[in-house]
Each structure stands twice: as C-alpha cells, then as structure tokens.
Amino acid sequence: MNKIYKIGLLAILLATSCNDDYLEKYPLDEISDATFWKTASDVEMYANQFYATLFDARLAWFNVDNASDNQIPSSRNIYTWNEYNVPATGGGWGKTDWLQIRRCNYALDRIATMTITDPALKRAEGEIRFFKSFHYLEKLKKFGEVPWLNTSLTPESPELTAPRDSRETVTNNILADLDFAIANLPESSTADRLTKYAALALKTEVCLFEGTFRKYHQVGTGHEELLRLAASSAEQIINSNQFSVYKTGKVEEDFFDLFVQYELKGNSEGILVQRFITDKRMHNNVRQLGEPQTGYSKDFVESYLCEDGLPIALSPLYKGDANFADEFVNRDPRMRQSIYREDRPYRIFDNGTVNYKEMPEFLNANCPTSYFIIKGYSPFEKDRLPSTSIIDDFIYRYGKVLLDYAEAKAELGECTQDVLDGTINLLRDRVGMPHLTVAVGFTDPNWPNWEVPISPLLNEIRRERRIETSAEGDRWDDLVRWKAGKLLENPKTILGARDPANGNLRVIYPGFTARKWDNKLYLYPIPTQEITLNPNLTQNPGWQ
C-alpha cells in the first residue's frame, strides 16, 4: 500500500455486486467477479479499501474520550449521563455498521474458490482476516455477544434470523483469524501494508480487553488464558527488537513531538501508522483540536505525578492549583506536553507571528475546562486549514504494547522489576521521570475507588496507562473492561480548572453536580427494529 490508498471503482463494484443479474454479465470494459479473483494481486487490491477504515474508526479520536472521566465536552454526553434511548435502528447495528465485515466475508468466500498456489495469496488473505478481526472487536466492545458471520449474506441467509453468539465464540473466531494473519503476514513491509506485528498488536488488544472484561465482570471462563495470550503476543513484538520507544533525549519535547510528525514511516514506535500527503490524502484533526469543544477534567489533571514520582497528595513539590500555571510546576513532563499552558505557542502564522493564549480560558466553543488538549495539536497555521493536515497517525504504537504487556503480567501476578524496566520505565525514561518499582513505595489516598479492589502496583500501571494514552480514545474501553464505570460518579470528572473569578473549580454543567452510574451502560442496546426483524435476538441487560 502506497501513501495514497487506491480505493475506487474496483472496491465499490466488488463490495456491492451480489445479485445474479449482475454476475451473469461480463462487460469487457468493466471489472466483475467473472474477470476478477484470479491472482493474489486482485485480493491485495481489494484489501486496499480497508486501510482507510482503520483511521476512519478513530477520526477525531480525541472525542472518543468524552465518554470517560478524562474529558468533559461542552454539552453533556447523553450516554454516560444515562439519557440514551434505545434506538429503533442504527446505533452501531445498522446495515452500514456491518458493511466492513460483510466486505471481508465477500472476499473470503471468493478466496476459497481460488485454485492458485501463490504464497502471496495467503498473505493477502491474512490482510482480509486482520480487517475482519479489527471490525469485529469493535462490535464485541460495544455489544458483547454478536452474531459471528462466516459468509457474505443474501436475503435468504439463515444467519439473518440467528441468535447472537457468545463472547467466547466471537473471541475464539477473532483469534483464529488473527493467528492466520500472524502466520502469513510478513515481518516488514516497504509498502506500508500490514505486518505480522500489527496482527500481534491487535491480538494483544483483543486478549487484554476480553481477559480483563471476563475477570472483572465475572462472565464466561478462560480469562487467565486470554491474559497469557495477551502477554505472549506483546512479548513477541518486544522480542522482535524491531521497535523501541521514540526519544531524542529532549525530555520536555519528545512526547509532544511524537504526535505531530509529518512522517511516521520508519518511526521506531510505529507498528502500524496511517500516512498522509498534501492534496492526496489529508485530515481535519488539527483544526478540530483548535476548537474541540472539550477539555481534560480536573480528575484527570490531578492524576499526574510530581517529578519526584510521588502523587500530588504526598509530594512536597506540588504547588497547588490556586494559580493555573502552578499546577504544571514540578509535574510529570507529559502534563506540559499534553495540556496547553500559556508559555507555549498556540498559533504560529505563516508570516511568523506567534499567538499565545492567556490562561485560564473557559470557552465552550474551544475548551470549557481550560485544560486544552494539545496531544496531536500543531500550532502551525498550515495545519489548521480545513481538512489539509498531513500529520501522520498511529494505529498501533509500541508504547501502548508496552503498557499492555505490563498490565497483563501484573494481572497474572508475574510483573517483576525486569518487566517494569522493560515497559513502564522505558516510557518514563522518555520524559525523565523516576522509575516505578514493584513495591510502589507509597499509598496514594487519591487512588480511584475501584469497584473491584486492585493492588498498589496495578493502580500505578493503570495510572501510567491513563497518562500515556490520554486523548487517544482508549479510556472508555479501559473503564468498561475494568468494571470501573462508577468512577464517573466522582464530581471532579465534570469539573474544570480553578476559576480566578470566584476561586472555585469551574462548573461545566450548571445545575448538575455529579453523574449516577448504571451498569447497563457497559454494553450498548440492540436497536428495537433489529429485535423485531429477528426475534432470536435478545436485548442487553437493563435495556429491556
């Protein structure tokens, strides 16, 4: 796959051509099933269409965390405030929501009829199975049990009235497809296509999510086996020695710089990236980050350690929050590289003029909390123009794999100091933070009030994950799998910075002081129309 994804007429025709009348005609100047599906290159070309969906699934990725304790949007999130109504249709279950899985099955049906022995066909099939797994994971996260579809459907297909399959069935099938991809994808790709390590990263994500979900929600069986698979998949990536934590020795810049690069090809942390090029493929994330209508919460900001490695409740270095600028003093350098402060250029115009914001600033159109998200935000005006940014995007980055590995090993009771030094502490080295030790060495009175109690070590690994992956769209999934929705009841998850006008923390939603968690929110509801059309479908708990 080149930097420009070749997705056009071919993908559209092949993805929509499924009726007999169409297939009976073989026009000489058009692509059809009768003339396609002959070579591995055909399958590879068909797979091109799915690469863009990896980024589309994370478009404006920072907004995903609006449904978590990390961020506060200008308008209340109706889902986490338990004001979400069961939709009649759509809601993640509509026809278009299953389109990518259907397209994958469409290809796999035709690959099964191909008789060539070219090894490249297995590689191309591995790509298709990877993409099917990627999109099925999103279904598993959102709905839990879903139908597992092995073929492209027709109006007469019995699968249309089949019940949902168990989490175990769905997960096992995802892992079987990923194992096929891991076995057949190459270790590297000069054309920026999928590799074995991208498939291993996805397998790690699947196993960690499902393993911890089953453990903390006490559903199904085999959570320990899944956690071991998560650890072993991550370990294969680590032991490949193909990746490392990106750093240049600039502890006050490297973390910020990692997310505003115009070229991630060859970046040591890039397991799978999306690349962009002027006038060919661009995006709008920088402009959206300039006016995001969201910001970090007070609860999230207080989770940053001080530069001595101690939490703010214990460190003598903490300067308090009476003045906005004081909050950043002596804190983990990732705070200054993730949240805007007024000594950082906010906009740099083409003529060289530099604009700074006076902080705190509470604007609903920009940031209601005053804790501006700058992860992935470039101050250069050329990057803020509508849909013209060419800053590359991570799909799978090595830093997250290290976090996954440390967490899986800790969940298994196998997180040694060597594990920490090869994972969490490599991330801390990038920003010059003290190392985490197995003993931790302190008890933070502000550790979250988890519904399922955990060890001090897991508390700190979860803190590290929260800090390192902020605004990358992972926090909601983490809260779900840890059965930690009640953390949203903390009033500071809906409060902003201290307002100098009155000395109080900024109230984002006047008249609302806290959320009330409902366990039904761990899974989205099935639309009512889908249950009417298929009486074998059952509704998720609490949504009946």
pLDDT at 156 over 90: no
Q: 92's torsion region: left (phi>0), alpha (psi -120 to 50) or beta?
A: left
Distance CA 352, CA 338 (A): 24
Residue 84 DSSP class: P
CA distances from 534 to 54, 142, 531 (A): 30, 19, 5
- What is the mean pLDDT of the segment spanning 414-441? 98
pLDDT at 478 over 60: yes
pLDDT at 486 over 50: yes
Distance CA 484, CA 493 (A): 13
Question: What SS3 class is residue 408?
Answer: helix
pLDDT at 108 over 60: yes
pLDDT at 370 over 70: yes
Residue 510: is the preceding peptide bond cis (ω within 30°)? no
pLDDT band at 32 (very low <50, low <70, confident <90, very high): confident
pLDDT at 6 over 80: no
pLDDT band at 55 (very low <50, low <70, confident <90, very high): confident
pLDDT tens digits along 67-80: 999 999 999 999 99
Q: Which two tokens stand for residue 512?
A: 């609302």
Q: Which residue has the tokens 């000069």?
A: 190
Check: pTM over 0.85? Answer yes or no: yes
- What is the mean pLDDT of the segment spanning 351-374? 96
pLDDT at 317 over 70: yes
pLDDT band at 17 (very low <50, low <70, confident <90, very high): very low
CB count in 10 Å sphere of residue 454: 17
CB count in 10 Å sphere of residue 203: 26
pLDDT band at 65 (very low <50, low <70, confident <90, very high): very high
pLDDT band at 61 (very low <50, low <70, confident <90, very high): confident
CB count in 10 Å sphere of residue 508: 21
pLDDT at 82 over 50: yes
pLDDT at 460 over 80: yes
Residues 496 and 295: beta-carbon distance below 8 Å: yes
pLDDT at 360 over 90: yes
Residue scoring higher pLDDT (30 or 451)? 451
Rounded (5°) CA angle 166-172-174: 105
pLDDT band at 20 (very low <50, low <70, confident <90, very high): very low
pLDDT at 410 over 60: yes
Q: What is the mean pLDDT of the chain?
A: 93
pLDDT tens digits along 167-224: 999 999 999 999 999 999 999 999 999 999 999 999 999 999 999 999 999 999 999 9
